[in-house]
Chain A
Amino acid sequence: MKVGIPRALLFYYYYPLWKTFFEELGCEVVTSGNTTKELIDKGIKASVPEICVPIKILNGHVLELLDSGVDYVFIPRMMSIRKGEFFCPKFMGLPDMVRHSLPGAQGKVLYPKISSLSDDISDDALYLELGEALGVSHKQIKEALKEGREVWKKFRNKSKEGHTIAEAMDYVMTGKEPEKQEDCTITIGLMGYVYDVYDEFVSMGIVDKLKDMGVRVLTFEMMDEEMLDRELDFMKKRLFWTFSNKLLAAGYKFLKDKNIDGVIHVTAFGCGPDSLIGKLMEIDSIEYGKPFMTIRVDEHTGENHLLTRIEAFVDMIQRKKVKSLKEAE
């Protein structure tokens, strides 16, 4: 049986878990290719105009998988991974949207309801409903998830050592150890959902570009979850959406941390939660006197333009740093 996992949204956070899980159950796992212009165009055509870019991209990936003749596409209903918090409504309604708006999707979507108390979503109770479609037993599901959990933990731990998702993914899939980055004079905190930052098409490879400039990059998923969680203790009311809270927490940590020289927020066009986070950061970064820049990507942003802006930002930080070093002398 062929199960397709779209290379979009939380693919970048949970793929090692889901891939292992399905393979342990004897399924063939197929992923869609990297996001391309054609793929986005397909997604745009299949989406309502006002919806955010990441959902349009997801639609493109799902269409590609359906075209490739998979038996099922895996689009879990992400409800919650923290008590009292939820996912952005578009995640919660995602399987509904896909089933009822993409041609050929009806009857082909596997969508277990994921509702858990932590980022670890490998509890077998959440996946039991898949037993029937996949023709596997409770016990098999449980065991497959155990394997999946282990791979996923390895993946997360690699991230937390300061490696990017791409590197951590590579590490658990092929065993390749990430290269050490040396001689960094500047560290930049990068705020952004994993599906924006690590989709090369959306972020235009911003992480690698920064690294090439000799910048060390820090993102929320490299940080300890509990530490992040405490970062927001000062807020009277946390946001409703967990991943937005993670970004915001990382953002505040970046603002306070003396070792971080600047903050970049990568956001895709049409994201409601991000507009809220972005505003908070914009105001508070001034208070902390930390350089802050927003990169908003839409379906048409040009690559050159982006590179110029990043270079200017890094330059500015460098000069600022040199200046303050001189002043300190």
Chain B
Amino acid sequence: MKVAFPYMGTTVIYKKLLELLGHEVIEPPEPTQRTIDLGVKYSPEFACFPLKVVLGSYIEAVEMGAETIVTSGGHGPCRAGFYGETHKKILKNLGYDVDIIVFDAYKRDKMGTIKRVLKVKNGKSWITVWKAINVVYAMAKALDRIEKRIEKMRAYEVHKGECTKAWKTIKEWFDHDVKTIKDVEMTEMKSHKLLDEIKLVEVPEEEKIRIGIVGEIYVVMEQSINLRIEETLGNLGAEVERSQYLSEWIDYNIMPGAARKEHELYILKKGEKYIEEIIGGHAKQTVGHIVDYAERGFDGVIHLMPFACLPELVSQSIIPTIGKEHNIPVLTLSIDEQTGTANTLTRLEAFIDLIRNNKRTKTA
């Protein structure tokens, strides 16, 4: 069975899981203009931008021979919950013979979930499955640690592009060299060594600029459609931290145990004053993260949302107040197939300039 998955963020992680379960994995290419065009062409207009891109990515995976696609369903009350079905219909109408296994929230459909797990489990013993999950979880954690380091370093690299190049190499290492937890540890060490070698400019602490990135999960995590926001900001001399990392998503949504949910609950609590209930998507997390970044002394926040995203429009409406009350500048960028690079880049530059000037006047 040739299996693929939707493209989002650090995809080596999903790939590894499926490989360890003995599947032949088809890795869809990172989304390009063609992916977006395909997705836009075959999605109904009502689909939100992330789901258009994912559809495009599915089509490319099927073209490469994928027979089954494993994905997770939508979380929270929003349109996303409807997409699995919509995607199935569209692919079928296009004449593609492909099975989509959607993992919905376990609580909603217990029997269904178990059936789907058995399908993906691929006849492996539960011990193998357990081991695979542990390796992949450790790998997700390690990769996130490395990425977080890179997101800080990039602002100061002497030769532009070195960090991004190293990150690519590191992901390849994890892809090829990791089978056990031990491998994860070794590869992580090796990765940090690689990063140690990158030459950095010394910047005094008070001149450092730190930017948080918040918003809807797909546009926050998938660099190919969000103007490579982390690289772009890094090149403008800003350290970056995202509100979402895959390992944290796993902690909150999949791993059992209350302790692992703590961080997310902490963030939700921070957002309580502004959005009291979970209203779908990541709106409440978005406002929570902004407050958190402000309290941690970040200099600014970029809020990313898919165009016309229902819950994020609620957070967008409230953001000016949060910005004022917490004295932190926030820039909202709404992302769709028309997000023009040039115009948006100018806005980002202006945003960072503003922050830098503010800082100078403050220290002066």
Contacts and interface: CB of A to CB of B under 8 A. Distances in A.
Contact of A279 (B46, B79, B322): B46
Interface-central residue, A90, A239, A273, by most chain B CB under 10 Å: A90
Interface in B106-129: none
A92 B279 contact: yes
Nearest to B88: A236
B277 A89 contact: no
Interface string A91-110: 01101110011000000000
Contact of A93 (B46, B79, B81, B283): B283
Given A89-B280, A93-B275, A272 B308 contact: yes
A272 B310 CA distance: 7
Contacts of A278: 46
Interface of A: 47-48, 50-51, 77, 79, 85-86, 88-90, 92-93, 95-97, 100-101, 113, 236-237, 239-241, 270, 272-273, 275-276, 278-279
Contact of B81 (A51, A100, A240): A240
A112 B48 CA distance: 31
A86 B280 contact: yes
Interface of B: 44-46, 48, 77-79, 81-82, 85, 274-277, 279-281, 283, 307-308, 310-311, 313-314, 316-318, 320-322, 334
Interface-central residue, B275, B320, B322, by most chain A CB under 10 Å: B275
B275 A86 contact: no
Contact of A275 (B46, B77, B274, B279): B46
Nearest to A113: B277
A272 B320 CA distance: 23
A239 to B, nearest CB: 7
Given A236-B85, A237-B81, A90 B310 contact: yes
Nearest to A102: B317
Contacts of B320: 101
A97 B307 CA distance: 18
Contacts of B308: 50, 270, 272
A16 B257 CA distance: 47
Nearest to A98: B317
A47 B283 contact: no
A89 B45 contact: no
21 contacts: A47-B317, A50-B313, A50-B316, A51-B313, A89-B280, A90-B314, A92-B277, A92-B279, A92-B280, A95-B276, A96-B314, A96-B318, A97-B317, A100-B318, A113-B277, A240-B78, A272-B46, A272-B310, A273-B79, A276-B79, A279-B45
A239 B334 CA distance: 25
A237 B310 contact: no
Contacts of B78: 89, 240
